[in-house]
Amino acid sequence: MITILDKINLRKRLFLLVITISYTVLLNAQDSIYISETYNPSLDSTQVTSEPVKKAGFVSRVLDGFTKFFMDCDTNYVTPQKYQFTIQGELSYWHDFYHMQSLETGNNMVIESDPSLVAGGYVYYSIFGYGVTWNLDDINRPNGAKNGTSRRQSFSVHTAKIFGEIYSFNSGKGAKITHVTDYDLTNKDNKFLGLDSRCNGFQAFYIFNNKHFSWPAAYGENAVQRRSCGTFNLGLAYNHQSVSFDKNELPDHLKDIDPTMMFNEVDYKDYSLSIGYAYNCVLGKNTLFAFSIQPALGYRRSYITESDDDHNLIENMSTDVNFRSSIIWNNSKYFTGLILDLHTYSYRQKTFGLTNTYGTLKFVCGFNFLRKR
């Protein structure tokens, strides 16, 4: 039997247990409030205010807003860049072609620059990149015997909406003559060191389907295309070409070729508009095949110096073509792939025509770091 004293002790124990539980719950609740809220002495003691979130700096907010505007996309189609910095290494194979034609006689000549092995790379911060490459074949060669393409520099902007690039490079130097009308060049020494080409300019274009199509995923490596998609683009470009031809460097068996095919120097500035099409084909997880073709119609101011004649100023329309293709593997952190880049420029006047093509096959690999907020 439970006595009255036992009942009193039981009630005390229950009371102490309730007090203990209540006190524990109250302490936990106060801890939670303290973590999420802070007391503001300027308010009434019964009021609390949320702890203010520290704002990013002005420059950071401007850059973030700028990047968001130009890189905004549908994430069902594109995974945008997750990191601030990109380091990209590049090993390239360069090959240039020059086709000269006399429009009076129909004779033509083809010169190919010596293939060049080129190494270098890019550094990207967000959407901005700077790249430089050097011709490995030029190492330990004298200045007058450079082989093919020399140093190339480029400053680029890769975004979802706009791609832009400023570039400069030299080419030519070491070359060989592979075709001359009515001449058999078999088993002949057709080495030619009298060709020199200098090129600089810029290009930019707007991508229409920029929510679903990613140009950086195909050629900038700072985004990942998740679904296949194509787009048209509208571009503008400026290109300054200066190509010199030293007839004294011709092999002896070609000294008497048709003189209307030759020149001392062709110098032209080309302003053009292009309408192109690009397509990104997703082959599998993180793997992309892409191509782009951009025919261009432009206005060209140029002159050609033939033998000892004075400069002849020519103003005419120009037609150029730019083709790109790539296959890229990119998991957002690391990437590698191959990129093919072909530029063709055509020059014409009443008696002479010159078409020069620059071809590049690039092997690239790199990584991203410093993850964005």
Render pLDDT for 295-308 as a digit per residue (tens, 0 to 9).
988 887 777 665 44
3 state SS of 219 = helix
Render pLDDT for 263-276 as a digit per residue (tens, 0 to 9).
788 888 888 999 99
Count CA atoms within 13 Å of residue 152 on its CB side: 29
pLDDT category at 197 given cuts 50, 70, 90 is confident
| pLDDT more than 70, % of the chain | 77
In this predicted structure, what is the pLDDT of residue 68? 72
Minimum mean pLDDT among 2-6, 66-70, 97-101: which range? 2-6
CB burial string 174-201: b at 16+ within 10 A, e below? bbbbeebeebeeeeeebebbebbbbbeb
27 within domain boundaries: no
pTM: 0.75
130 within domain boundaries: yes
Minimum mean pLDDT among 3-7, 108-112, 366-370: which range? 3-7
User: Which of the 8 DSSP states describes residue 220?
Assistant: I
DSSP secondary structure, 275-340, as one string: EEEEEEEEEETTEEEEEEEEEEEEEEEEEEE-TTPPPEEEEEEEEEEEEEEEEEEE-SSEEEEEEE
In this predicted structure, what is the pLDDT of residue 281? 97
Average pLDDT over residues 83-102: 90
User: CA of 79: how far to CAs of 128, 206, 211, 213, in Å?
Assistant: 18, 20, 11, 11
Render pLDDT for 198-257 as a digit per residue (tens, 0 to 9).
889 999 999 999 999 999 899 877 789 999 999 999 999 998 888 888 888 888 888 888
Higher pLDDT, 147 or 180: 180
24 within domain boundaries: no
Report the 10 Å Cβ neighbour count for 360.
Answer: 21
DSSP secondary structure, 62-87, as one string: HHHHHHHHHH---TTTEE---EEEEE
Higher pLDDT, 144 or 303: 303
Instruction: Give how many domains the chain has, as a whole number.
Output: 1
Cα–chain-centroid distance for residue 79? 17
Minimum mean pLDDT among 47-61, 66-80, 126-140: which range? 47-61
22 within domain boundaries: no
110 within domain boundaries: yes
3 state SS of 26 = helix
Render pLDDT for 244-269 as a digit per residue (tens, 0 to 9).
888 888 888 888 888 888 778 888 88
Domain of residue 115 covers 58-371
41 within domain boundaries: no
Q: Report how many helices (DSSP H) and strands (DSSP E) the chain contains, helices first.
A: 3, 17
276 within domain boundaries: yes
On the question of pLDDT at 324 being above 90, the answer is yes
Distance CA 372, CA 369 (A): 9
C-alpha dihedral sign at 201, 207, 210, 216: negative
Average pLDDT over residues 282-293: 95
Higher pLDDT, 64 or 145: 64
Average pLDDT of the chain, as a whole number: 79
On the question of pLDDT at 351 being above 90, the answer is no
pLDDT category at 121 given cuts 50, 70, 90 is very high
In this predicted structure, what is the pLDDT of residue 320? 84
Distance CA 242, CA 99 (A): 15
Distance CA 119, CA 253 (A): 36
Minimum mean pLDDT among 156-160, 311-315, 353-357: which range? 311-315
| pLDDT more than 90, % of the chain | 32
Report the 10 Å Cβ neighbour count for 45.
Answer: 8
17 within domain boundaries: no
In this predicted structure, what is the pLDDT of residue 45? 42
Residue 306's domain is classified under what CATH number?
Answer: 2.40.128
Render pLDDT for 15-65 as a digit per residue (tens, 0 to 9).
555 555 554 544 444 444 333 444 444 444 444 444 555 566 777 777 677
pLDDT category at 8 given cuts 50, 70, 90 is very low
pLDDT category at 347 given cuts 50, 70, 90 is confident
CB burial string 53-63: b at 16+ within 10 A, e below? eeeeeeeeeeb
